[in-house]
Chain A
Amino acid sequence: MKFWIVSALAILSAVALALSGANEYLFFAGFVVLQAIILATGWNILGGYAGYVNFGVPGFVGVGAYTALALHLLVGAPLIVQIVAGAAMAALLGLAVGVLTLRLRGIFFSIATIAVVFILEAVVMNSRFLGGATGIQLTRPDDVWLFGTYTRMLFVMMTLMAVVALSVARYVQNSYIGQGLRAVRDAEEAAECSGVPTLKVKLIACAISGALLGVAGAPMPMYLSYIEPLSTFNLHYAVIALAMPIIGGTSHWIGPLIGALILGTLQQIVTVTISSELNVLVVGVLLVVFVVAAPDGVIGLVKKWKTSSK
């Protein structure tokens, strides 16, 4: 119950903020943080719950973005349709990758996911319809109902999507899927022997994780009025999607949220005060530090502090 109240409050505050006269740039930057929350949450369903590290995050983001673009170019589809379609295609991709590689060991799964990124990037680069390496400019509607500018509407939409992502993660975690995934992560062979349908739960996780990553990518063409493959299929997304749950804690749905807020804020501070190169360094360093010293993330640290102070 508490979850739904907080979510409703979050959405309402986003709407209020968008209707207020706050600086436009706030919404432009806010989109990035919200996208990060969705990325982290989506990744964690497979990476944190099941222990399968997906490096191919940019591939799923790209599928979401380019599906949205295709629909926009072909039929001028509204944003919500673009997002749903992007999520669906990304879910299919997740299933395909899962079917192909889940029988393999952990590291092979991860390397295969990187392969998917580059192959998809090459597909886009060879498609003049999707813009090739040159990219495509889009025109957004000028006057948007209620919110005035498109950026503000996107901000509210992304807040809604973030809430959806978090509720999906929470549901998966508490359901039988989550139990199955935890069994896979802790001792896959034992789980298999005890009758857990490991392939089935892993594939479900692949599909759901993929879908959420696709949701994070679908609004991007409209956000920038421009899309091109090199920045869309950039492995940078993979590092962030990995770092945030590890920093926050991978065992619980709130971990990615914590990680995204910490990392997102830090990144913005570093970009504004020092340089934008160094913000990638911050991500990498924090990732390594947490993986080495605090593998259970902030959640783990909080738990330790709670038990030690009792």
Chain B
Amino acid sequence: MFFSFELLFEAILFGLLLGCFYAAVSLGLSVAFGLLDVPHVAHPALLVVGSYGAYMLGDWGIDPLVAGFLLMPVFFLVGMLLYRFYYETFERRGNAAGVNGLAFFFGVAFIIEVLLVVAFGVDQRSAEADYIGESLRLGDLRLPYRLLIAAAVALVLTVVLSNFFSRTFVGRAIKAVGQDEGALRLMGADPVRIKQLAFGIATSVNALAGAMLIIVSPVEPTMDRIYIGRTFCVVVLAGMGSMKGTLAAGLVLGVTESIVLTLFGASWATAVAFGLLLVMLGVRPQGLFGR
């Protein structure tokens, strides 16, 4: 493999941009799994649905980023309904964290995958926009606009969510319900309604992330599989439920993946997220920033 410091520097820069994108994609899972403890393996599948949604809206000439925003309310409702169903069927009956909850979400993820194949075929789809395919030229360096935009959106999302959870009443209630549901109930708030709201928010963030996904790379229905690795890696690395931790963890993953890609070639790229995940689970399961 060819190596030079210039190449490494570019790889790190690229990795930081990519890492922001990975963080954005994982924010929803940080809420759903990190804060609410729902074994939401279908999160990446919903991400891909968001991408296809942006793709379909693109057929009507709508820019993918705008499409992402338009999809957010729809996904919010979907998230609320999904959580409600999960709660009624599993959490209430008390067999949530066991085989059944996981199997349910796994089944949902597969159903989504197959429906996407039936609707769109197995081919790759890409979004079209003026900024996709062009890059910012800084001397010899070329930074693709698609990554710059995805990184920018990711940063904004992180800041917004972080503030939401620490400053608003609802946000703090969501954090509280993850920590001590009983105490929250004593204070008069309904934990189920709050969790539903949180899941709705997590899913709507996913819609925007999905739009970014199709800006950053072409999508095809089975992409959710590798994103299970990337999103869970980020969430585990972050330690449960921290938004800023998610951003930092995303950057770690992005840079690691980029360096591996540059030094060892494309055939190890898919294993990086999963490898990092296993290492964290083995060495420090509470994550880099968790308690």
Contact = CB atoms under 8 A, between A and B. Distances in A.
Nearest to B115: A281
Contacts of A51: 98-99
Nearest to B110: A284
Contacts of A242: 103, 106-107
A288 B104 contact: yes
A107 B111 contact: no
Contact of A108 (B95, B104, B285): B285
B110 A106 contact: no
Q: For chain A, what secondary structure do more than half of its interface residues adopt (helix, strand, loop), or is it mixed?
A: helix
Interface residues of A, number: 46
B232 A284 contact: no
B121 to A, nearest CB: 10
Contacts of A48: 99
A106 B101 CA distance: 11
Interface string B274-285: 110110011001
Contact of A285 (B97, B111, B267): B111
A246 B100 CA distance: 9
A283 B106 CA distance: 11
A262 interface: no
Interface string A50-85: 010101000000000000000000000000000000
B281 A239 contact: no
A280 B267 contact: no
Interface string B71-103: 000000000000000000100000101111011
B98 A111 contact: no
In the complex, which range does the number of interface residues on chain B fall in? 35 or more
A238 B111 CA distance: 14
Contacts of B236: 108, 111
A55 B107 CA distance: 12
Nearest to A133: B267
Contact of B268 (A107, A114, A122, A291): A122
A257 interface: no
Interface string A82-112: 0000000000000000001100111110111
B225 interface: yes
A114 B228 contact: yes
Nearest to A246: B103
B13 interface: no
B281 A104 contact: yes
Given A105-B97, A288-B104, A118 B115 contact: no
Contacts of B117: 277
A263 interface: no
A107 B39 contact: yes
Contact of B114 (A112, A125, A238, A278): A278
A119 B274 contact: yes
B226 interface: yes
A292 B104 contact: yes
Interface string A107-129: 11011101110110111011000
A280 B270 CA distance: 24
Contacts, number: 118
A287 B107 contact: yes
B9 to A, nearest CB: 26
A121 B275 CA distance: 12
Nearest to A105: B97
A235 interface: yes
A105 B101 CA distance: 14
Contact of B285 (A53, A104, A115, A288): A104
A192 to B, nearest CB: 17
Contact of B99 (A53, A132, A235, A239): A53
Contacts of B110: 239, 280, 283-284, 287
B86 to A, nearest CB: 10
Interface string A266-310: 000000000001101101110110011001000000000000000
B267 A100 contact: no
Contacts of B41: 110-111
A121 B274 CA distance: 11
A118 B271 contact: yes
B133 to A, nearest CB: 27
B99 A250 contact: yes
B278 A119 contact: yes
A248 interface: no
A298 to B, nearest CB: 16
Given A126-B268, A292-B89, A112 B281 contact: yes
Q: 5 smallest A-B Cβ distances: which pairs? A: A122-B271, A115-B274, A287-B107, A284-B110, A288-B107
Interface of B: 33, 39, 41, 89, 95, 97-100, 102-104, 106-108, 110-111, 113-115, 117-118, 225-226, 228-229, 232, 236, 267-268, 270-271, 274-275, 277-278, 281-282, 285
14 contacts: A101-B281, A104-B281, A107-B102, A108-B236, A108-B285, A114-B274, A118-B270, A122-B267, A123-B271, A126-B267, A242-B103, A281-B111, A287-B106, A291-B104
Given A242-B103, A287-B107, 18 more contacts: A53-B102, A100-B282, A111-B228, A111-B277, A112-B277, A118-B229, A119-B271, A122-B267, A132-B267, A242-B106, A246-B99, A277-B117, A278-B118, A280-B110, A280-B113, A284-B110, A288-B104, A291-B104
